[in-house]
Amino acid sequence: MQTWFITGASGGLAIHLTRKLLERGDRVAATVRKAGVLDELKHAYGDRLWSAHLDLTDAAQIEEVVTRAFAELGAVDVFVNNAAYGLYGAIEEASDAQIEHEFDTNVLGSLRAARAAMPFLRKQGHGHLVQLSSSAGHYSIPGMGLYCSTKWAVEGAFEALAKEAAPFGIRSTMVEPGGIRTGFLGGNAAYGEPMEVYREQEAGRFTRMMKGELPGMDTPEAFNRAVVGDPEKMAQAIIDRSDAGEGPLRLTLGSDAYAVMRESLLARLAALEAQKELAYSTDADDVGV
């Protein structure tokens, strides 16, 4: 039996992961923002489900909850940073407060949670940090720029953290899913204040699609048909990666994730290669002498 700590465990991919772990006999420390959402699982699995309220924008609460989980459970084998949400719309449409909250949750919240866990994982001499990132950490499109930027930040920070944690016996995995069929349209997303100038631009069309305002994409059923990711299969893939031990830092889930990430990486590589001569020409004259 392993012990997992999962933030934002009440919905999306995380609830599927939580159920699978409990079903196979593991113990789960689950954090949520709404009281009572895990009552059914608590009734079914009793003490194997430990839960606590956690707001990732509250630094003091993160420290308190993580510390209490390790103290009461004795050890945590797999620490999963899952909680995050999307902020959609053109960059200009979002307010400062919305942008700050998005980064406070998706980036700073994940970093604070991992930083709170690290001393305990080091003391244990083992553990697995699993950071939910996104295929959006490799590309950016109009209407998704702010969400993508948080995932780019997560990618940079946790790639470094993985290397810093490795000497202490701590493994790391960044999970990069594409779209996931979670059964609802728009989810817990937030939106900027629409500006008419963007309505018929790519940013406006994307935002209206996410809101369910475009013909053919205006019901949960229609939206899910356009999304390829199966949350059950993705949850199992995360469990399998953890059980396997060592593996690549990044775990790509979904054919859409693979396709868009490959396209983005190839385009960036081609643009880089086209500038090789220029890049070298700007070196100081005494380089290599």
pTM, two decimal places: 0.92
Compute the residue count for the chain: 289
Using alpha carbons only, what angle is made at residue 180 by residues 179 and 182, rounded to the nearest 5 degrees? 140
d(C-alpha 225, C-alpha 135), whole Å: 19
- Kindly give, in sequence order, each residue whose CB lies less than 8 Å from that of residue 185, ignoring residues fewer than 6 positions away: 211, 212, 219, 220, 223
Q: For residue range 191-210, what is the model confidence (pLDDT) as tens digits?
A: 999 999 999 999 999 999 88
Among 43, 49, 44, 38, which Cα is nearest to 3's? 49
Contacts made by residues 159-166, CB under 8 angstroms, sequence distance 24+: 159/249, 161/114, 161/129, 162/129, 162/249, 165/118, 165/121, 165/129
Could you tell me the domains of the chain? 3-275 (3.40.50.720)
Query: Annotated catalytic sites, by residue?
Result: 133, 147, 151
Strands of the chain, DSSP E = 3-6, 27-32, 49-53, 78-81, 87-88, 127-132, 170-177, 190-191, 250-253
d(C-alpha 200, C-alpha 20), whole Å: 43
Q: For residue range 221-270, what is the model confidence (pLDDT) as tens digits?
A: 666 677 889 999 999 999 999 999 889 999 999 999 999 999 999 999 99
Give the pLDDT score at 186. Answer: 56
